[in-house]
Structure 1
Amino acid sequence: MSEAKGIFKHIPNTITCLNLLSGCIAILLAMEGYLVGASILIFVASIFDFSDGLAARVLHAYSPMGKELDSMADMISFGFAPGVIALAYVKAAVLGSVSADIIPTELTYSQWALLLSAFIIPIFSALRLAKFNIDTRQSTSFIGVPTPANAMFWASLPLVMHFGNYPTIEGWLANPFVLLAAILVTSYLLVTEVPMFALKVKNLSWKDNKLRYLFLMTLVVIAILLKWLVVPLILFVYIIFSLIDNMSNKE
């Protein structure tokens, strides 16, 4: 019996490692220009990220190692991987193609600055994760946008462009300064002091989860009206609902 318990206690960390593996493969695919595949694997990583915490609660298998491993996996899957996707779009906007060779001597300082700006995402993701680990205020909710939410915004862009027909968004993604603005804004949201509600639920009652149910219903309506555009809009709808929740709690 004790041997079985010993096996069960490793399940959450195993799931976390699957999160990490998904992130590593996503980075590899993004570096090779397969952005849709990279995006799908970031979403897969988010499922593992949710599941490891659930498994730890169900199996009572919390551990300091699991907490540190989870942060490291999140840094890869939701920090570095979306940064590489952002780099691919900036590279296409600056050099004309995701597959274009970066020749240092042929780039201007401004082009270098634009290309390297993509790594602001992993830097601020690391700051967000480190802050989360030591911030006792974030036991039941978040302060700032969680790294998985930011990662899914960037991962949604290749999916939207592949499965939908949005010439306006395609034009925005071809503009390096629009991409720079998106990088700066989303990175700032990671470390902002604005409280954000958590999606994890302790029960299914309407009273305790009213905000979460309304959030999900809003996403369903947007999906019906705007189809694939709902995916990148999830982040902004989440922020809006968090602000509404903050205002209602102050009343």
Structure 2
Amino acid sequence: MKTHIPNFITCLNLLCGCLAIYFIFQQDLITAAYLVVAAAALDFMDGMVARVLHSYSEIGKQLDSLADMVSFGVVPGAMMLQLLTRSIETASASANFPEWLPFAGFLITIFSALRLAKFNIDTRQTSSFIGVPTPACTLFVISLPLIMAHDDFGLTGVILNPFVLLAITVLFSYLLIAELPLFALKFKNMAWQGNQVRFIFMGLSVLFFAIFNFTAIPLNLAIYILLSFLKPSSL
């Protein structure tokens, strides 16, 4: 019975992703963004529950990857498509952006699939990551409508610039498959020794959220990448 508990949580992750897609195409990006946050929490929880219950299974591994492809592959691509569509609609009439441009958002979906396939067969990624994980990429993308909805820093005009959105799309498509070593937020124990980088990252994340609200999400991702470059001995 306990074998099915992590799989049930994974299915809830998948459900959140499916609902997020529905709301994206209903133009409700905020509800979709919150559903992705729930999916990310469930994605973290299913692995934690599996470790606690010692209930690993091959079907659980495959199900997790398939659920992630929806919640952290299709969803960010669809979200970027909608953001690019809005950016073109608000751009100057003289800009003459091609009608197919919003579909470039699905580059994130394609490279997320490559990222997940690579992760499934890469033995180097058992305790850390090579390339930005799909949930991190997705959280960055869904932070954009949240930042615009609570725009304390006047960033809406910057975000709804087609060139900015295209740059984000290309950058994250690369980062998903880049040979970039990154630490994982998996605690083998709660001791400071060996977990310094994780505690520092979590502390900074909470601080940034308190100060910058949703703008903290892209800042936290930048800190995550920066800390991964630092030597563990220096932390």
**TM band (smaller chain):** over 0.9
1:27 aligned partner: 21
RMSD, aligned α-carbons: 2.0
Give matches, 1:172-183, under 5 Å.
172-183=158-169
- Judge conservation of contact 1:114–1:176 (CA < 8 Å) in 2: no
The alpha carbon displacement at 1:173 in A equals 2.0
- Judge conservation of contact 1:144–1:192 (CA < 8 Å) in 2: yes
The 1:34/1:61 distance shift into structure 2, 3 A limit, reads same
The alpha carbon displacement at 1:225 in A equals 3.5
Are 1:118 and 2:118 an aligned pair? Answer: no
User: Secondary structure in 2 aligned to 1:111?
Assistant: coil
2:188 aligned partner: 202
Distance in 2 between residues matched to 1:186 and 1:226, nearest whole Å:
22
- Residues 57-105 of structure 1 show CA distances to partners (whole Å, capped at 9, x for unaligned) of 12221111111110110010011111111111100011349xxxxxxxx
Report the residue type matching 2:195 in the other structure: N
Aligned pair count?
Answer: 232
1:236 aligned partner: 222
Are 1:86 and 2:80 an aligned pair? Answer: yes
- Judge conservation of contact 1:29–1:35 (CA < 8 Å) in 2: yes
Report the residue type matching 1:73 in the other structure: A
User: Secondary structure in 2 aligned to 1:165?
Assistant: coil
1:171 aligned partner: 157
The 1:60/1:224 distance shift into structure 2, 3 A limit, reads closer
- Residues 128-161 of structure 1 show CA distances to partners (whole Å, capped at 9, x for unaligned) of 0000000000011000010001111111111122
- Judge conservation of contact 1:94–1:111 (CA < 8 Å) in 2: no
Are 1:68 and 2:67 an aligned pair? Answer: no
After alignment, is 49-58 or 124-133 more displaced? 49-58
Distance in 2 between residues matched to 1:181 and 1:235, nearest whole Å:
16
- For residue 136 of structure 1, the aligned residue among 118, 123, 131 is 123
- For residue 204 of structure 2, the aligned residue among 218, 227, 234 is 218
Distance in 1 between residues matched to 2:225 and 2:101, nearest whole Å:
27
After alignment, is 109-118 or 155-164 more displaced? 109-118
TM-score w.r.t. structure 1 length?
A: 0.87
1:4 aligned partner: none
Which structure has the highest helix share of the two? 1
- Judge conservation of contact 2:20–2:33 (CA < 8 Å) in 1: yes
4+ runs deviating over 4 angstroms: 246-249
| Structure number with bigger Rg | 1
Distance in 1 between residues matched to 2:224 and 2:233, nearest whole Å:
14
